[in-house]
Each structure stands twice: as structure tokens, then as C-alpha cells.
Amino acid sequence: MSLDGLGLTKKTVGIVVAAVVFLVLLSTFLTFRRFPGTVISIAAEQQAGDADAAEPNRQGKGRQGGRPTHKNPAFGQRKKERNRMVAGQIEQRAVSDRDVLRAMRTVPRHSFVMKYDQRRAYRDHPLHIGLGQTISQPYIVAYMTEVLKLEPNSTVLEIGTGSGYQAAVCAEIAEEVFTIEILEKLAESAKKRLAELGYQNVYVKAADGYFGWPENGPFDAIIITAAAGLISPPLIEQLKPGGRMILPLGSPFGAQTLVLVTKDAEGKVHTQRLLAVRFVPMTGKVAEEKGRRKK
């Protein structure tokens, strides 16, 4: 082969290589123009995966909580009693929300009562939990929860943690539950109990519930588990438009009625009386305000 022929061959190879490179670049360019989000989406998915790996329990609101784990042995105990409780005490009284019924079948009520009362944990009445406080009758817990119409992305404020049972029931349905207990001892024990049971989406604070928890509001739902003579204005402010609040309203030593408070899209508040109840009194600022009004 002559030198001239060899030169021609090298030139030909060069042209072919250049053509291939050009076609590859052109194909990539056209693909990106047709699907401009492809490369960005892959990068975004990678970043999301890295974030999930670093903080597997982070929720939409950026807090540390997560759904209840149900790993504690208590969830596997006394299931038949819970099923009987739901069938006989709750469903027969027309509570029909499937999420509420599931939550009532799931939460181990015997973990939220005094040791000497554990045998009576699934009976149809409230029980004392110490310091003059009670855990509500199972039907009332289910009824109040159903009235709130909780969704999986709901944020709930509870006033009156007690032993933590109502908070646990709400946490089975809602995304997050913020619960306030004025008695520090009860708040501490409820916080410990809920953590042991795996309720990572419940946040407990020892404080006066009259003022609510404004830094974590507004809330989709507010539930008050102690009787008050008036509705706290700060709680009304912390209820979202479209939100629902339920509370026992009335005298601690007289007639009490469960009242549903709703706020419409314009911020106007509406109330509806539901049924007669008996709750322990709400203490703190709300009691002082009631006393001032009487004077």
C-alpha cells in the first residue's frame, strides 16, 4: 500500500470517528430537548433517597415523628377483648368510621390504666388514672374522635393528655398529635408511655392548655378532654378554617354537653350541641376566666 493510500485511509477513519461522535452528541441533545426533565428527575430522586436514608422518620412537616410502630408486645395482647369492646360498646352505638374502629381495635387500652385496673381496661366506663384524673369511657373516646373527621394528613391538638390514650387513638389516624397536660407528673408519664409504645408522631408538653400550642398551629382538629365553662379564645384562633373542635362545655359539678365547634372558610365560628357527658374539670387559666365572668 502506497503512502498516499495510507494517508487516505487515516483520513477516512478520522471522518468516520468524527461522524459517530457528532451523531452521539446530536442524539443526546435531541433526547434532552424531548424529555427535559429526565436528568433533573434522576438527580432529584437520588437526593430524595439520600435524605430518606439520613432521616427515615422525617414527615412532611419536617419534624422527627413517624407513624406508630406497633412493635411493643402490648399491641399483641388482649386483642379479643378489644374486638369485643369495639363490637359491643362502640359499633352498636352507631360509631361507624372505619379508621376510628381500627384505631380502637389497635390501641392497647390496658397500657394506659393503673396496674390495679388492668383487668377492667376494656369495660364500658371511665377509670381513675391518679391525681384526680380519669381515662374516658371507650365509647366517648371513639365518638369524639369520629366527630373530628380526621384524615391521614391531619394535625391535631389535644388539651388534657391524661394517660395518653386519646392521643394514641388520634395518632393512629392523623399525621401528628400535639397534646398538652397541665399536671407535670401526668405529662411525664404519658410521654414515656407513648414513646415506649412507639408513638413517634405524638408530642407531649406540660403546660396550661388554655393557651394552646401556637408555634405548631393552626390545627385541623382540636379535642379537649376536660370540662370548661367557656371556649378559650386562643384555641379558636389556632383552629384552621375548615377545622373542627370538640369539647365538653358546662359546669364541672353540673350539666355538661359535648359541643362541636367549626370554623368556616371565612373564619366564622359555628357551634353545635351533641350529647350530655360528664368530664373532670379543666383547670388553669380557663377556670380563672370563668370565675371572673361570674363576678
Q: What residues act catalytically?
A: 136
Residues 148 and 170: their CA atoms lie apart, in Å, by 10
Instruction: Using the CB atoms, write b or e for 56-68: b if 16+ within 10 Å.
Output: eeebeeebebeeb
Rounded CA-CA distance 186/130 in Å is 8
Environment class of 178 (CB within 10 Å of its CB; exposed 0-12, middle 13-18, buried 19+): buried
Which residue carries 359541643 as its cell? 259
- Residues 30, 35, 40, 46: is their CA dihedral positive or negative? negative
Q: At CA 216, angle to CA 235 and CA 52, rounded to 5?
A: 150
Buried b (16+ CB within 10 A) or exposed e, 222-249: bbbbbbbbebbeebbebbbeebbbbbbb
Q: Where are the beta strands (DSSP E) in the chain?
A: 127-130, 133-135, 155-159, 176-181, 202-206, 219-224, 239-250, 256-263, 269-277
Given a contact cutoff of 8 angstroms between Cβ atoms, the answer to whether 261 and 196 are in contact is no
Q: Residue 202's beta-bridge partner residues?
A: 177
Grid coordinates belonging to 264: 368556616
| Beta carbons within 10 angstroms of residue 141's beta carbon | 26
